[in-house]
């Protein structure tokens, strides 16, 4: 696997770097960012937090806006942020150019419907290909956690629940917890997965939480002034599903906060310390 380093910046004693590579999973060049804390070395491999971003975002949104490097450097945690979808002139996109489907909106699933299924295999990319690349090229261990925002919160929660032996903890900001019943999810799942709604449940946190036996520690923050709260996010559905499953969910409603990175940057330290507690066990 050939990695091309496209940028490097010193940050809080560590390094923030961007890399591109040709992905065998999504069949196009992909970019990801990694923050390596100062503790990382070949003799001291550090754990990794994978961050999944939301609709329209790239690896840059979190790394530049969240303010996570200082605390990650203190805690000795690497952060890896992939892109949100395959990109390029050959990649099929929403025919109307909408932001909530196609490029920038991979929904962290494996598409089964043409023409999306050749490229939109973001679940396998995040779960299999990317960790193998990161662990093979950088001074990090295979101890990992996962987090994300909005569509990325959906991705983080579903990936952790489907791979509960692989992640020590999971957290999310403003996640789409029940995509099978909200407009964002219905549009994306119909196109990527087809009309059979039973297949959608494999990527729906509220459905998956009832089936998992290994309960990964889970923290969710949601702003009560989020403009997408009632139509798209529906955290009350997750609370109900977790209660029915006996899952020890910590969901915090944060007064006055919206869907933006102002919200994420306000509470990212809590999430990093939450993950550190479990990553260092």
Q: Is residue 147 a contact partner of residue 172, using CB atoms and an 8 Å limit?
A: yes
Please pick, among 23, 53, 150, 171, the residue that the annotation labels catalytic: 150
Q: Is residue 35 a contact partner of residue 68, using CB atoms and an 8 Å limit?
A: yes
150 is catalytic: yes
For residues 2 and 21, give the distance between their C-alpha atoms in angstroms, rounded to a whole number.
6
226 is catalytic: yes
Q: SS3 for 6?
A: strand
For residues 108 and 153, give the distance between their C-alpha atoms in angstroms, rounded to a whole number.
10
For residues 214 and 217, give the distance between their C-alpha atoms in angstroms, rounded to a whole number.
10
Compute the CA torsion angle 194, 198, 199, 202 (nearest 10 deg).
140
259 is catalytic: yes
Please pick, among 83, 154, 226, 271, the residue that the annotation labels catalytic: 226
Q: SS3 for 260?
A: coil
CA 78 to chain centre: 15
Residue found under tokens 């203190």: 74
Please pick, among 154, 259, 271, 275, the residue that the annotation labels catalytic: 259
Backbone angles phi, psi at 261, to 5 degrees: -75, -10
For residues 29 and 218, give the distance between their C-alpha atoms in angstroms, rounded to a whole number.
32
For residues 175 and 182, give the distance between their C-alpha atoms in angstroms, rounded to a whole number.
12
Sheet of 78-82: strand order equals 4-11, 14-23, 28-36, 78-82, 46-52, 140-149, 170-173, 218-223, 249-254
The token pair that represents 107 in the structure block: 């929904």
Residues marked active site are found at 150, 226, 259
């Amino acid at each position: 696997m050939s990695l091309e380093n496209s940028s490097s910046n010193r940050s809080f004693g560590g390094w923030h770097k961007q890399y591109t590579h040709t992905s065998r999973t999504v069949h196009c060049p992909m970019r990801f960012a990694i923050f390596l804390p100062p503790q990382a070395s070949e003799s001291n491999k550090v754990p990794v937090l994978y961050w999944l971003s939301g609709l329209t975002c790239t690896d840059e949104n979190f790394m530049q806006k969240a303010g996570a490097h200082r605390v990650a450097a203190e805690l000795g945690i690497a952060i890896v942020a992939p892109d949100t979808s395959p990109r390029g002139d050959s990649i099929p996109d929403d025919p109307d150019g909408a932001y909530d489907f196609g490029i920038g909106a991979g929904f962290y699933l494996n598409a089964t419907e043409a023409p999306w299924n050749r490229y939109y295999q973001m679940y396998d990319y995040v779960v299999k290909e990317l960790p193998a690349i990161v662990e093979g090229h950088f001074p990090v261990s295979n101890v990992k956690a996962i987090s994300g925002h909005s569509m990325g919160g959906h991705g983080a929660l579903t990936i952790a629940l489907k791979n509960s032996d692989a992640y020590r903890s999971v957290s999310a900001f403003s996640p789409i917890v029940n995509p099978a019943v909200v407009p964002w999810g219905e549009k994306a799942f119909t196109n990527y997965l087809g009309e059979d709604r039973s297949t959608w449940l494999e990527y729906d946190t509220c459905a998956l939480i009832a089936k998992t036996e290994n309960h990964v520690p889970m923290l969710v923050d949601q702003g009560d002034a989020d403009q997408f709260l009632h139509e798209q996010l529906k955290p009350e559905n997750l609370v109900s599903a977790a209660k029915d499953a006996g899952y020890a969910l910590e969901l915090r409603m944060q007064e006055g906060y919206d869907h933006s990175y102002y919200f994420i940057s306000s509470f990212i330290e809590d999430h990093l310390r939450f993950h550190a507690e479990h990553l260092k066990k």
